[in-house]
Every structure is written in C-alpha cells, then in structure tokens.
C-alpha cells in the first residue's frame, strides 16, 4: 500500500510498491517494480509465494475493508522468517478509514492490528511499539511480526 513516497531512510535495492494510483506509484523514486492494485476490491497480492523478504504497510491498514485476508496474503508472499511491519499514527483520512478505526484510540489501534495479524494465522506473535519519542511530532507506532 504505497504511493509517491515509501518512507525509508535507505530504501532496499529491490522495492516492489503496490497501490491504487498509477501516477503516485510512478512518482516513487525508490520503487523498482510497481503494481497497481486495489486490495479492497481484491485482497490477493499479485506476487508468487515466498517472493519477498519483508513487507511494510505504512499508515494504511486503517483503510482496508478485508485486512485479515490481506495480511494472510502478505504472509503467503513473504519468505519464511520475513518481517511484517504495520505502522500507524494518530492521523488518517476520516472519510476513508473504516469505522472501527475511528472509534478507537492509539493503544486500541495497536491491539486491533495485532489481533488482525493473529487471525491471518501466518505470523509469530506480534509486538506493538511506539517508534517516536513522546511529545516530538506525531506519534508513529509499529506492529511487528515474523512469518511463521
């Protein structure tokens, strides 16, 4: 779930980006492969099994209508031992976020994402971490798990 930026300090040598907007993906300078795909219309990720080393969903899980299916697909395309990182903040587009996201706070968001990861049945027990120092800008949290 990418757009024109991938939020890596140092991007990986091979970076596959997936998103709904072809123009935004084309503007992403870190991308080496671009997949235009709407995961809400079809949660299947158009990649082979065991194809990627790590997967990042950056401040976008709150827009998924079938998150367990998408996370199961992420588990399918990740190699065994591959890392999943789902990041979130206290910001969103309220007109696009699912209702449950809008009805919960940051701590509950982490618990919800961790439960979605568990329900996908593809990962180790997830952890939730605050990745920014408190009081310095918007908080950024990460839910991390490894493909089982």
Model confidence pTM above 0.85: yes
Please give the pLDDT value at position 89.
86
Query: 148 pLDDT exceeds 70?
Result: yes
- Dihedral sign, CA of 100, 104, 106, 107? negative
Cβ-proximal residues to 38 (8 Å cutoff; 6+ apart), any chain: 20
What is the rounded CA–CA span in Å between residue 64 and residue 52? Answer: 21
Q: What is the pLDDT of residues 105-144, one digit of tens each?
A: 888 999 999 999 999 999 999 999 999 887 777 899 999 9
> Do 142 and 87 meet the contact criterion of CB atoms below 8 Å apart?
yes
Q: Domains along the chain? A: 1-37 (no CATH), 50-146 (3.40.50.150)
Tell me the H-state helices in 29-133: 67-77, 99-102, 106-120
Q: What is the pLDDT of residues 5-37, one digit of tens each?
A: 888 889 999 999 999 999 999 999 999 999 999
> Do 73 and 122 meet the contact criterion of CB atoms below 8 Å apart?
no
Task: Name the percent of the chain lying above pLDDT 70.
Answer: 98
What is the rounded CA–CA span in Å between residue 44 and residue 111? Answer: 24
């Amino acid at each position: 779930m990418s757009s024109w930026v991938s939020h890596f300090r140092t991007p990986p040598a091979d970076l596959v980006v997936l998103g709904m907007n072809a123009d935004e993906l084309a503007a992403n300078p870190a991308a080496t492969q671009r997949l235009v795909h709407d995961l809400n219309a079809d949660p299947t990720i158009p990649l082979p099994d065991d194809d990627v080393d790590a997967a990042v969903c950056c401040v976008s899980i709150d827009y998924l209508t079938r998150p367990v299916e998408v996370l199961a697909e992420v588990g399918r395309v990740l190699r065994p031992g591959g890392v999943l990182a789902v990041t979130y903040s206290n910001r969103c587009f309220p007109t696009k976020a699912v209702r449950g996201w809008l009805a919960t706070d940051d701590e509950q968001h982490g618990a919800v994402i961790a439960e979605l990861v568990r329900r996908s049945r593809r990962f180790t027990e997830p952890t939730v971490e605050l990745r920014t120092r408190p009081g310095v800008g918007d908080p950024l949290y990460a839910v991390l798990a490894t493909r089982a």
